[in-house]
């Protein structure tokens, strides 16, 4: 990526002008994805530097069909609107089982930029196929009033609701003469264009619920997981290069969240491999590298025991049966156990912490 592109992008983002990404349409798609990821995570991280763009690209390189940031998650699977709505309701990471998730709320320019660029991560933009399924993503706006089927190009925000219950603000990015509210009758059933989708340009269109597209859900979780297998030190460096830190798991609720996040982003536990297989564990930020037996997170805060914390028995044992190096860093299993492990001799996936969580 040309360094001048990067300087222009960062300077303008700091001034609150995320729409600058539109100016990079000539950059190859893989490069655009780097800008996309940083644009989202950096919203909560004012002192972002240019190297974080490359760091974020590395973090998300091997995730399969899921494009996650600290604000939003896009799933590349093609589904109809009602299926997307149900999938997002069940995507409750960071919310707890008593709450439901929802299709993405895109109620300002920054979020519109987020979802637009996430779509660009999942599928390449193709102007020759601009109405194809992979050129759009479902968002959470739906018409709930005055569904007469009368064709109209007038948009009344009071007739629409976001999936999280919010009434739309004045912000919108409808295509010209949209929403047009056309209808269609198929096998005796009348369909209305009461659902909203967003394209690679961030423009909105009303369409029928039976159409299939990728979909985006709001994300309220604390963690971004990487499927890349790294030593603990390399994982720590990769999180920091992305403007994040290796993750903390500090209570039972965060254990449950990390277990759910690991299943979503890395896949479920494989019962056919041994317990300590590298795919069953991921790195956290806990370590006693500075002083044996004094466990800290990478930000220097104390790693404290909590009710329900489960160590892989008998741990932490600081075993030294591989060479002369002790077990001074923390790994976490997909089923919620902690284990002290070797910081240079094991390579595993890892979890980074979202800013301010």
pLDDT tens across 80-100, in order? 999 999 999 998 888 766 788
Please indicate whether residue 143 or residue 95 has the higher confidence score (pLDDT).
143
Number of other residues whose CB lies within 10 A of the CB of residue 62 = 12
Q: Which pTM was predicted?
A: 0.75
pLDDT score recorded for residue 314: 61
- What is the rounded CA–CA span in Å between residue 206 and residue 56? 33
Average pLDDT, the chain: 82
Could you please report the per-residue DSSP string of 180-204? ---EEEETTEEEE--EEEEETTS-E
Rounded (5°) CA angle 84-118-16: 125
Distance CA 222, CA 262 (A): 12
The Cα 357–Cα 349 span in angstroms is: 20
Q: Please tell me which of 45-59, 270-284, 310-324 the model is most confident about, judged by mean pLDDT.
A: 270-284
Instruction: For 262-309, write each residue's pLDDT tens digit.
Output: 998 899 998 888 888 888 999 999 999 999 889 999 999 999 999 989
């Amino acid at each position: 990526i040309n360094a001048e592109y990067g300087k222009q992008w960062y300077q303008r983002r700091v001034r609150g002008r995320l729409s600058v990404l539109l100016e990079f349409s000539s950059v190859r798609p893989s490069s655009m994805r780097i800008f996309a990821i940083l644009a989202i995570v950096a919203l909560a991280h004012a002192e972002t530097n240019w190297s974080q763009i490359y760091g974020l690209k590395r973090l998300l390189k091997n995730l399969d069909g899921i494009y996650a940031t600290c604000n939003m998650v896009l799933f590349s699977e093609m589904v109809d609107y009602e299926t997307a709505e149900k999938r997002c309701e069940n995507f409750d990471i960071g919310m707890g089982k008593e709450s439901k998730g929802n299709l993405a709320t895109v109620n300002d320019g920054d979020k519109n930029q987020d979802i637009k660029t996430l779509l660009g991560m999942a599928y390449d933009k193709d102007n020759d196929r601009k109405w194809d399924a992979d050129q759009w993503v479902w968002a959470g706006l739906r018409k709930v009033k005055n569904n007469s089927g009368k064709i109209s190009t007038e948009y009344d925000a009071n007739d629409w609701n976001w999936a999280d219950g919010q009434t739309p603000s004045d912000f919108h990015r409808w295509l010209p003469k949209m929403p047009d509210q056309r209808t269609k009758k198929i096998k005796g059933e009348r369909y209305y264009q009461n659902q909203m989708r967003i394209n690679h340009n961030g423009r909105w269109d009303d369409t029928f619920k039976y159409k299939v597209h990728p979909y985006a859900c709001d994300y309220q979780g604390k963690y971004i997981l990487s499927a890349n297998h790294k030593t603990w030190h390399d994982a720590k460096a990769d999180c920091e290069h992305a403007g994040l830190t290796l993750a903390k798991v500090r209570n039972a609720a965060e254990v449950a969240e990390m277990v759910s996040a690991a299943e979503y982003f890395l896949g479920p536990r494989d019962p056919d491999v041994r317990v300590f297989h590298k795919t069953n564990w991921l790195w956290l930020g806990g370590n006693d590298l500075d002083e044996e037996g004094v466990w800290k997170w990478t930000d220097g805060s104390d790693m404290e025991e909590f009710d329900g914390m489960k160590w892989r028995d008998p741990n932490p044992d600081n075993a030294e049966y591989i060479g002369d190096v002790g077990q001074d860093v923390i790994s976490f299993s997909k089923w919620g156990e902690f284990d002290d492990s070797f910081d240079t001799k094991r390579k595993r996936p890892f979890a980074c912490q979202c800013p301010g969580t």
